[in-house]
Amino acid sequence: MTNSAEALGPGSSRPEMGLTVAAVARRLGVAPATLRTWDRRYGLGPSQHSAGSHRRYSADDIARLERMRRYVLSGVAPAEAARAALSDGDAEPDTSARHGGGQVVAIPDGTPQARGLARAALALDADSCRVILAETLDRRGVVWTWDHLIAPVLVGVGQRWEQTGRGIDVEHVLSEAIQSELSARVTNDNSRSAAAVVLASAPGENHVLPLWALAAALSERGVEVRMLGARTPWDALGQAIRRIGPGGVLVWSQTPGTGDPADAITLPDVRPEPLLLLGGPGWHPGAPPRGEHVDDLSEAVARLSRAAGVS
């Protein structure tokens, strides 16, 4: 039986029902919170409203949001992207617009997405950061996104802090957005592993973003991941190895003060012995008494995947 909306036909004067925030968020691939932020900050909200019901997005509203999203992903500052989106396509965005009163993060040879992510971070715009990260992760995968988007922007933000003494707030907003998007992609629901992989930071080491990138990349390949996180004592790591029986273990050290591998010899001898990798620039040079150094994310993913039984 034809429903009443269909029976009205295209010539009807009855208004289109429109879509809810949740439905538009799914359609665009952004978080509902991002749409609410764009509504509050830039006026890119739903225009349809009827008594006793929630506001809904019309086709024109959605078209403007699609332009907003496209401009942000191409590296345009969100405020300028919103201005262009609200012009209904009559005005192209100013791609030279920068956040923060002309402040900039230097990213030599950076992609448009990297420049856009840096601008959003400078504006403390966590929602736009997440949009750019999610889109690039979906399209390019974790390894490419880390190497060509996340790592260059983190380096640029860090160098800016070293040069000016400012930017801790920028780094915090950016880091939280990165961890949120990467951790959301870690799932063991469809694991193809014969064994799990354990990831941990060295004792005293607070940096965990590279571990989340590795966890997300391994999860992308169907590897089961157990994340122990920051400042993991060697004895706690040893206990986890005994309980889990992993195929591989990676310990991350970002800073030289946490990179003494000598205590790795205290890890338990188990059979079969897991692959032990030491990742990050903090490890002391030279051959470690136990384990092997690994140089980059791609190498770590490949070696740990094989250790877990996933080719």
pLDDT tens digit at each of 311 positions of the chain: 344 333 333 343 344 568 999 899 888 888 888 888 889 888 999 987 655 567 889 999 999 999 998 888 777 878 888 889 998 766 666 655 444 434 578 887 788 889 889 988 988 888 889 989 998 998 899 999 999 999 999 999 988 888 888 889 999 999 999 999 999 999 988 789 999 999 999 999 999 999 999 999 999 999 999 999 999 999 999 999 999 999 999 999 999 999 999 989 999 999 999 999 999 999 998 889 999 999 899 999 999 999 999 98
- Domain layout of the chain by residue ranges: 15-96, 98-185, 197-307
The greatest distance separating any two alpha carbons of the chain, rounded to the nearest whole angstrom, comes to 78
Question: Between the CA of residue 242 and those of 94, 192, 230, 238, what are the distances in Å?
Answer: 57, 21, 20, 6
For 9, counting Cβ atoms within 10 Å of its Cβ (0-12 exposed, 13-18 middle, 19+ buried), the class is exposed
User: What per-residue confidence (pLDDT) applies to 12?
Assistant: 38
Give the right CATH number for 98-185 from 1.10.150.530, 2.40.50.140, 1.10.1240.10, 3.90.550.10.
Answer: 1.10.1240.10
Give the right CATH number for 197-307 from 3.40.50.300, 1.10.2020.10, 3.30.390.30, 3.40.50.280.
Answer: 3.40.50.280
Question: 201, 207 in Cβ contact below 8 A?
Answer: yes
The CATH code belonging to domain 15-96 is: 1.10.1660.10
Same CATH topology for 15-96 and 98-185: the answer is no
